[in-house]
């Protein structure tokens, strides 16, 4: 079981920026509590790889507004994992050439909602 405050601190330490990242997601705390140390370490490494630019982001050419930015100003990184028989996703959002702004953690339904907000999902299937 992973402590959610420690989880957030480790992620913030890996990105080392002054801007405060928002940790968002339906049932965020419960999902973090289900993580094993091994799964958490993989997430920390994934964050480190993003910061070191070893992972390619998802970028969209949309002019749709998301909070105070246009979607085309954002880079999104996706990390899928499962616990038991449940699939979860992380979406980590960064402003191009700037700061990381959001860390989303949730089940597939939450993930689809965030994808729609970020204009990464055009229609339902």
Q: How far is the C-alpha of 71 from the C-alpha of 65, rounded, in Å?
A: 6
Q: Any idea where the domains of the chain sit in the sequence?
A: 4-117
Per-residue pLDDT reduced to its tens digit, 41-68 = 999 999 999 999 999 999 999 999 999 9
Helix then strand count (H, E) for the chain reads 4, 7
pTM of the model: 0.91
Retrieve residue 20's tokens. Answer: 């405060």
Q: Would strands 100-107 and 22-24 be described as parallel, antiparallel, or unpaired?
A: parallel
Per-residue pLDDT reduced to its tens digit, 55-112 = 999 999 999 999 999 999 999 999 999 999 999 999 999 999 999 999 999 999 999 9
């Amino acid at each position: 079981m992973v402590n959610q405050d420690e989880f957030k601190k480790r992620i913030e330490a890996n990105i080392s920026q002054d801007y405060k990242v928002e940790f968002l997601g339906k049932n965020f705390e419960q999902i973090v509590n289900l993580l094993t140390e091994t799964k958490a370490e993989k997430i920390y490494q994934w964050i480190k790889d993003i910061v070191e630019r070893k992972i390619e982001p998802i970028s969209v050419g949309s002019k749709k507004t998301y909070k105070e930015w246009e979607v085309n100003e954002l880079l999104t990184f996706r990390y899928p994992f499962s616990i038991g028989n449940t699939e979860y996703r992380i979406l980590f959002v960064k402003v191009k050439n700037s700061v990381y702004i959001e860390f989303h953690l949730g089940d597939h339904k939450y993930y689809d909602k965030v994808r729609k907000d970020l204009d990464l999902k055009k229609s339902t299937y």
